[in-house]
Amino acid sequence: MCEIIAVANQKGGAGKTTTTKNLGRALSENGKKVLEVDFDPQFSLSTSLGYTNTDSEQFTIGDLMDRAIEMKELPDKEEYIKHTAHFDILLSNIVLSSTEMKLVGILEREYILKSILDDLRGDYDYILIDCNPSLGMLVINALAACDSVIIPVDSNYLASKGLELFLRTFIRILKRINTKLYIKGILLTKFNGLTNISKKTFRNINESYGSGINIFETKIPSSVKVGESDDQGLSIIDFTPENPVAIAYLELAKEVINYVGQ
Ligand SMILES: Nc1ncnc2c1ncn2[C@@H]1O[C@H](COP(=O)(O)OP(=O)(O)O)[C@@H](O)[C@H]1O
Ligand SMILES: [Mg+2]
């Protein structure tokens, strides 16, 4: 059974792209078939996987969305899915920013991404969607298309207010659009247990949400190697497997696989 997970938080810099990239890689280490979907018009997931010139790509997620909006047939999967050694990718480029505007005026606008990804469920154990930092139509499409959500939170910011806003959108989607949607967990990123700010962020999130929402045991530490691995177009697991961030994402993958529900 395929599970589609949206990695979402309207705050930029929370660790969404890093988590999509490295959790996907870590899931593949456990024998899972994984597709990572770059669903951000800024295409940083594509770039950080070494696809630095996606403007020249014939079919990105924006093109597929545009075709689906116009009710045209999609190209063959082999034309738009990229294979890497460990997982597959659906690339993005700037096309996706105009797609968002096209969505506004059409019927069933929340379900366009869902119509694309449902056809891929048979090919994967996990499909991870890297969301853009907003609460706009693209994120709503991602929340309508997925089974669950992972919410990365930067431990260096007291995040409660931003999370409140995200959860309000989540509840709207849950009530009206995707009634089986659930939050797989809140993930603390760039966590440093020695700093007061990390400890305080964790305490706040635990107090505010811990009784109703899973907070992953695994916390992702901070390392400059994350940026270096992006530069090399590699996951942190392939770049420096012994790095604490690599180890943490492998642990997170185990938590995700073994998750038994709320
Ligand atoms: N665990 C980490 N340690 C150090 N830097 C990180 C870590 N996770 C993310 N970063 C850096 O923080 C920035 C924002 O991360 P990113 O994953 O792009 O966030 P988002 O997708 O939520 O905007 C990037 O420059 C990334 O390299
Ligand atoms: Mg991002």
Q: 223 C-alpha to center of ligand 1: Å?
A: 10
| DSSP codes of every residue in 10-67 | SSTTSSHHHHHHHHHHHHHHTT--EEEEEE-TT-HHHHHTT---GGG-S--HHHHHHH
Q: Is pLDDT above 60 for 262?
A: no
**Closest approach atom of ligand 1 to CA 14:** 22
**Closest approach atom of ligand 1 to CA 189:** 1
Task: Check residue 133 and report its DSSP letter.
Answer: S
140-176 pLDDT, tens digit per residue, is: 999 999 999 999 999 998 866 789 999 999 999 999 9
Task: Check residue 73 and report its DSSP letter.
Answer: P
* Superfamily of the domain at 3-258: P-loop containing nucleotide triphosphate hydrolases (3.40.50.300)
Averaged pLDDT of the chain: 96
Task: Please work out, in degrees rounded to the nearest 5, the angle formed at the alpha carbon of residue 14 by the alpha carbons of 10 and 16.
Answer: 80
Please tell me the residue having the least CA distance from ligand 1 atom 6.
226
Q: What is the pLDDT of residue 211?
A: 94
Query: If you average pLDDT over residues 125-131, what whole number do you get?
Result: 98
Q: 74 C-alpha to center of ligand 1: Å?
A: 33
- CB 54 within 8 Å of CB 92: yes
177-226 pLDDT, tens digit per residue, is: 999 999 999 999 999 989 999 999 999 999 999 999 999 999 999 999 99
The residues lining ligand 1, judged by C-beta closer than 6 Å to any ligand atom, are: 12-18, 44, 133, 189-190, 220, 222-223, 226-227, 230, 245
Give the number of the ligand closest to the Cα of residue 39: 2
110-122 pLDDT, tens digit per residue, is: 999 999 999 999 9
Q: What is the pLDDT of residue 105?
A: 87
